Amino acid sequence: MKLLRYGAPGAEKPGLLDAGGTIRSLAGIVPDLAGDALSPAALAKIAALDTAELPAVEAGVRLGPPVAGTRNFVAIGLNYADHAAETGAAIPKEPIIFLKSLNSLQGPNDDVVIPEGSHKSDWEVELAVIIGSTAKKVPANSALDHVAGYAICNDVSEREWQIERGGTWDKGKGADTFGPVGPWLVTRDEVPDPQDLAMFCEVDGQRMQDGSTRTMIFDVRQIVSYVSHFITLHPGDIITTGTPPGVGMGKKPSPIYLKAGQTMRLGISGLGEQTQRTVAG
């Protein structure tokens, strides 16, 4: 299934994308795509519905983040061997965890605001893992049991604030609009191997990133298990799992960074695409 939320910011309603590409409303079926609605039992009930009987939603409606009630927006740094190589960083011995502000979370096609004073805003296409049931200190071999599904995340990053301003990475990762997620949550049954997904990012039509989850250092099972030993994960929580090479910071002979008026397009096989315009903050 492809589950989504549509409507104005802060007033999104639950829905799904049917096999013909039409958005169908789940209003009246579930209050929202949050909490118990993301549990295996609830997802099975939604999957059993006759989608043709659900109300169709007008084409072109805005999409919001595909889940609500997110408590933790967790990110993993330097989790692709080829990305670590392009930045000159050593391969981490354990996953690098940081948090993106919940204020950064937004719809997949909403504008990305380049903050005032930013000179090094950058793109990062990433596989996002969406939690469906509470996970606390879970072993890796059962970690996927706690995953509702997957989505695309653009882990937009201000590199000067992340790297050059001291302290942790969080201040370069959590600006408003720096976390587009979607367009939908693709349930786990439709992604048999999250470690074999092609992914890309384009800026103004130029292919910047062209990679695969095959080059992850720590796989999804390891990441969910590892994070759950430090942070209790709840339904609707999001873990974005790192990016392949091709970020602006790593471009040669000199870095390339975002400016207002550009268009980013990102995609992961089976998970759809996102498109964002950059605007001045």
pLDDT tens digits for range 149-168: 999 999 999 999 999 998 88
Mean pLDDT value of segment 233-244: 98
What pLDDT does 172 receive? 93
Q: Per-residue pLDDT for 80 more than 90?
A: yes
Where do you find CATH 3.90.850.10 in the chain? 73-280
pLDDT 10s digits, 123-140: 999 999 999 999 999 999
Q: How many CA atoms lie within 13 A of 31 on its CB side?
A: 5
Mean pLDDT value of segment 53-78: 97
Closest CA to 176 of 109, 275, 106: 106
Tokens of 263: 């268009």
pLDDT tier, 86 (very low <50, low <70, confident <90, very high otherwise): confident
What pLDDT does 174 receive? 96
User: What amino acid occupies position 155?
Assistant: D
What pLDDT does 4 receive? 98
Mean pLDDT value of segment 5-19: 97
What pLDDT does 88 receive? 79
Task: Let me know if domain 73-280 sits in CATH 3.40.50.300.
Answer: no
Q: Per-residue pLDDT for 90 more than 90?
A: no
In DSSP notation, the chain reads -EEEEESSTT--EEEEE-TTS-EEE-TTT-S-SSGGGGSHHHHHHHHTS-GGGSPB--TTPPB--S------EEEEES-BHHHHHHHTPPPPSS-EEEE--GGGEE-TTSPEEE-TT-S-EE--EEEEEEE-S-BSS--GGGGGGGEEEEEEEE--EEHIIIIISSS-GGGGT-STT-EEEEEEEEEGGG-S-TTS-EEEEEETTEEEEEEEGGGBSS-HHHHHHHHHTTS-B-TT-EEE----S--GGG-SSS-----TT-EEEEEETTTEEEEEEEEE-
What pLDDT does 167 receive? 80
What pLDDT does 231 receive? 98
Q: Per-residue pLDDT for 219 more than 90?
A: yes
What pLDDT does 215 receive? 95
What pLDDT does 87 receive? 78
What pLDDT does 69 receive? 97
Tokens of 204: 């103004």
* Lowest-pLDDT range of 54-63, 83-92, 190-199, 207-216: 83-92
pTM summary value: 0.97
Mean pLDDT value of segment 242-258: 95
Tokens of 58: 């007008």
pLDDT 10s digits, 33-59: 999 999 999 999 999 999 999 999 999
Q: What separation in angstroms does the CA of 31 have from each of 36, 69, 205?
A: 10, 12, 38
User: What amino acid occupies position 110?
Assistant: D
